Amino acid sequence: MFNAAPQPSTLSVLSLNCWGLNIVAKKRKFRLKAIADRVGQEHYDIVALQEVWMWEDFDYIKEQTRDVLPYTKYFHSGTLGSGLAILSRFPILSSSYLKFTLAGKPLKVFQGDFYVGKGCGSVCIDHPQVGLIDVYTTHLQAGYGKHDDYEAQRITECWQIANSVRASAAQGRHVILAGDFNSIPTSHCYQILKNHGFMTDSWLEMHKDTMADSLGRLERDQLTASECIQLFGITCDSPLDTWTKHLLKQQPYAKDIGDRLDYIFYRRTPEITCQQSRVAFEEYIPDTQMSFSDHFAAHSIFRIAAKTNSAFDDGYAPLPKEIARPDFTRLLPDSLHPIILLLEKDLLNATSTANELLFLFGLSVLMVFCLYSCQIVVPFYFEQESQLTVLVSSIVCGLLIIVFSVVAIVSLIVGFVFGRNEQRSLRQYLIDINVCLDNLHEAARRGSTSPPSSLHSSATSYSTSDGLVIKQMDIDKNK
């Protein structure tokens, strides 16, 4: 049972986006207290939280869970904070924070992502049976609106995460990666984590054998929205979540049932394998008609085995000595080409936006010069005719000088400082990914590898084997 006390040979992991935005989030204090009370009553070994932005909320969570999860780490970053935290039953030996190079836009003030310092927090815990486990929690950039302008940024974020978890694996450590990835299972981000970070999707591992049957029942309209939550791992945009309609950041891919955006990935080894995985916190807060958050939680239980020298088979992650080679990857050229095209397109857009802002800067400086000249010239010509005209023109010109001065400063900072940083970062990611692609081509030319055919048809990015559920009518709408 999921709510039973964990056995010594299991590891219970929960990941939840708490929607703890100050002011914006509805009933924040009440919901966060309910989440803390619930976590304190359950028997989790590791809890990864996202969007816990208020320190008072985290303090309450720590207080309510200190008997079962005595070790905690909150990750500080950016102007407003990362909102990320990890709670553990086992001692935390170290912690670190990987800040994303690209996350949000400075002019998108109300989205706020640029100012929270988005990234990936990690701790190294000491498990009594399997030793060191690196636990990661993250919250990737949201898409916002009908057109996803941030897919390229999420790709760069996942590239950073994949390299980080590879470094952990190369040291021989076990790895758990949890959080809100704002990405569906057939996205480029998912493929990077799976095939370059060598992460296993714990939920899909437990449910892939029943996916075809569940899809058939869905197509025949034999499933309710409630049944779909568990059968398809729906964690966001569910019609049964009372907060779904209040603040929908991005258009859901599957409008009828919601999306699977929250995951618990792990490095699958003979010592750690997934035993159970389900969606949690999908019910209402007791004695209310209110959901805990605008996301449901992901909950996985792993089987822990003593350290063994048994050989790794194809179902396990590669050995540390293999992952330690920078050119070792399971990404295919067919999956890297569209990623490169997306980054190149985003680079062109970033360059165009920066140039427009720099043009606006020049125009604003010119306007300030002209207005300042008017303040000098107007009194000279109208001094003997109308003092009122001189006064009004002086006030208007003064106000416009202030406005254009502010526009000039903002345009210069965003267009030059942020713009150049964004462009150079994208160019560097393009270089890194092209190096990976060149290595694949070189290996193919040498005949040392024979990459398997792509799991996905070039005509579509939707695959039932990856746990994505979209009715055909929804696919057509998104074309």
pLDDT of residue 185: 95
Query: SS3 for 233-280, per residue?
Result: CCCECCCCCCCCCCCCCECCCCCCCCECCEEEEECCCCCEEEEEEEEE
User: What is the SS3 assignment for 212?
Assistant: helix
Q: Within 295-386, where are the H helices? A: 320-323, 333-382
User: pLDDT, tens digit, for every residue of 23-71?
Assistant: 889 999 999 999 999 999 999 999 999 999 999 999 999 999 999 999 9
pLDDT of residue 389: 72
User: pLDDT, tens digit, for every residue of 291-304?
Assistant: 999 999 999 999 99
- Band of residue 455 on the pLDDT scale cut at 50, 70, 90: very low
Which tokens in the block code for residue 233?
């791992």
- Band of residue 209 on the pLDDT scale cut at 50, 70, 90: very high
pLDDT of residue 467: 55
Burial 425-452 (b: 16+ CB within 10 A, else e): bbeebbeebeebbebbeeeeeeeeeeee
- Angle, CA of 9, 11 and 15, to the nearest 5°: 170
d(CA 325, CA 302): 28
Q: List the single range of 125-139, 169-183, 463-477 with lowest mean pLDDT.
A: 463-477
Query: Per the CATH hierarchy, to which homologous superfamily does domain 10-324 belong?
Result: Endonuclease/exonuclease/phosphatase (3.60.10.10)
- Band of residue 229 on the pLDDT scale cut at 50, 70, 90: very high
User: pLDDT, tens digit, for every residue of 323-362?
Assistant: 999 999 999 999 999 999 999 999 999 999 999 999 999 9
Asked if residue 20 lies in contact with residue 313, where contact means CB atoms within 8 angstroms, the answer is: no
User: pLDDT, tens digit, for every residue of 87-143?
Assistant: 999 999 999 999 999 999 999 988 889 999 999 999 999 999 999 999 999 999 998
Which tokens in the block code for residue 53?
């932005």
User: pLDDT, tens digit, for every residue of 386-415?
Assistant: 777 778 888 889 999 999 999 999 999 999
pLDDT at 200 over 50: yes
Contacts of residue 476, Cβ cutoff 8 Å, sequence gap at least 6? none
- Angle, CA of 202, 174 and 262, to the nearest 5°: 30
The residue-averaged pLDDT of 222-245 equals: 91
Averaged pLDDT of the chain: 89
pLDDT of residue 315: 82
pLDDT of residue 255: 54
CA 340 and chain centroid, separation: 20
Long-range own/partner contacts, residues 369-375 (CB < 8 A, 24 or more apart): 371/397, 371/400, 371/401, 371/404, 372/397, 372/401, 375/401
Q: What are the extents of the domains in the chain?
A: 10-324, 337-446
pLDDT of residue 341: 98
pLDDT of residue 448: 54
User: pLDDT, tens digit, for every residue of 358-389?
Assistant: 999 999 999 999 998 888 877 777 665 677 77
Higher-confidence position of 309 and 15: 15
d(CA 114, CA 98): 15
Q: Percentage of residues in the chain with pLDDT exceeding 70?
A: 87
Which tokens in the block code for residue 457?
């048809």
Q: Percentage of residues in the chain with pLDDT exceeding 90?
A: 74
pLDDT of residue 463: 43
- Band of residue 180 on the pLDDT scale cut at 50, 70, 90: very high
pLDDT of residue 46: 98
Which tokens in the block code for residue 232?
């398809």
Asked if residue 145 lies in contact with residue 415, where contact means CB atoms within 8 angstroms, the answer is: no
d(CA 139, CA 113): 10
Asked if residue 234 lies in contact with residue 259, where contact means CB atoms within 8 angstroms, the answer is: yes
d(CA 131, CA 269): 13
Amino acid at 20: G
- Band of residue 450 on the pLDDT scale cut at 50, 70, 90: very low
Contacts of residue 325, Cβ cutoff 8 Å, sequence gap at least 6? none
- Band of residue 477 on the pLDDT scale cut at 50, 70, 90: very low
* Maximum alpha-carbon separation in the chain: 99
pTM: 0.88
